[in-house]
Amino acid sequence: MTLETIVFSVNGQPLPHTSATLDQSAEEAVRTAQFEVAWTGAGIPCAPDDEATITVSGSLWGTGYVRDVRPGHDESSRTYSVSFVSRTCDATECSIDHPTGLKREADLGDIAKEFDVLGVGVEVKAKTIKKAVHKVRPGETLFQTLETDARAQGVLIHDSPEGKLVLADKPEGRHAGALVRGVNIKSASASLSGATSFSSVKVRGQASIGISASALRAEAEARGTARRRRPLIVPFEGEATSERLKKRATWEAKRASGEGVTCQITVAGFRDQGGQLWKANWLVEVADDWLGIRQDMVIASVKLEQGSGGTTATLSLKDPRALGGDNPRGKSNAAWGAPGSTNADYREG
pLDDT of residue 216: 60
Query: What digits encode the pLDDT tens for the residues 22-38?
Result: 999 999 999 999 999 99
Q: Is the pLDDT of residue 237 over 70?
A: yes
Mean pLDDT of 168-197: 94
Q: Return phi, psi of residue 166, to 5°.
A: -120, 130
Query: What digits encode the pLDDT tens for the residues 88-111?
Result: 999 999 999 999 999 999 999 999
Q: Which of 201-210, 249-258, 339-348 has the highest mean pLDDT?
A: 249-258
The answer to whether 202 and 346 have CB atoms below 8 angstroms apart is: no
Task: Tell me, rounded to whole angstroms, the distance of Cα 213 from its chain centroid.
Answer: 37
- pLDDT > 70: what percent of the chain? 95
| 2 vs 16, higher pLDDT | 16
Instruction: Please give the mean pLDDT across all residues of the chain.
Output: 91
Rounded to whole angstroms, how far apart are CA atoms 340 and 241?
24
Comparing 36-50, 63-77, 173-187, 226-240, the range with the smallest average pLDDT is 226-240
Query: What digits encode the pLDDT tens for the residues 193-210?
Result: 888 889 999 998 876 554
Where does the pLDDT of residue 154 fall: very low under 50, low under 70, confident under 90, or very high at 90 and above? confident
Where does the pLDDT of residue 336 fall: very low under 50, low under 70, confident under 90, or very high at 90 and above? confident
pLDDT of residue 142: 98
Q: Is the pLDDT of residue 252 over 60?
A: yes
| 333 vs 77, higher pLDDT | 77
Query: What digits encode the pLDDT tens for the residues 259-279?
Result: 788 999 999 999 999 999 999
Rounded to whole angstroms, how far apart are CA atoms 167 and 276?
22
Helix axes 242-259, 142-152, angle to 10 degrees: 100
pLDDT of residue 102: 97
Q: Is the pLDDT of residue 7 over 90?
A: yes
pLDDT of residue 257: 76
Where does the pLDDT of residue 215 fall: very low under 50, low under 70, confident under 90, or very high at 90 and above? low
Comparing 10-24, 180-194, 195-209, the range with the smallest average pLDDT is 195-209
Q: Is the pLDDT of residue 306 over 90?
A: yes
Q: Is the pLDDT of residue 337 over 90?
A: no
Residue whose C-alpha is closest to residue 320's, from 168, 167, 146 = 168
The β-bridge relationship of strands 17-25 and 6-10 is: unpaired
Where does the pLDDT of residue 327 fall: very low under 50, low under 70, confident under 90, or very high at 90 and above? confident
| 1 vs 324, higher pLDDT | 324
Mean pLDDT of 113-141: 95
Where does the pLDDT of residue 349 fall: very low under 50, low under 70, confident under 90, or very high at 90 and above? low
The β-bridge relationship of strands 261-268 and 173-180 is: unpaired
Residue whose C-alpha is closest to residue 320's, from 265, 279, 278, 283 = 283
Q: Is the pLDDT of residue 335 over 80?
A: no
- pLDDT > 90: what percent of the chain? 70
pLDDT of residue 166: 98
Where does the pLDDT of residue 75 fall: very low under 50, low under 70, confident under 90, or very high at 90 and above? very high
Q: Is the pLDDT of residue 178 over 70?
A: yes
pLDDT of residue 340: 53
For the chain, first and last CA: distance in Å?
A: 62
The DSSP symbol for 277 reads B
The answer to whether 71 and 47 have CB atoms below 8 angstroms apart is: no
Task: Tell me, rounded to whole angstroms, the distance of Cα 318 from its chain centroid.
Answer: 12
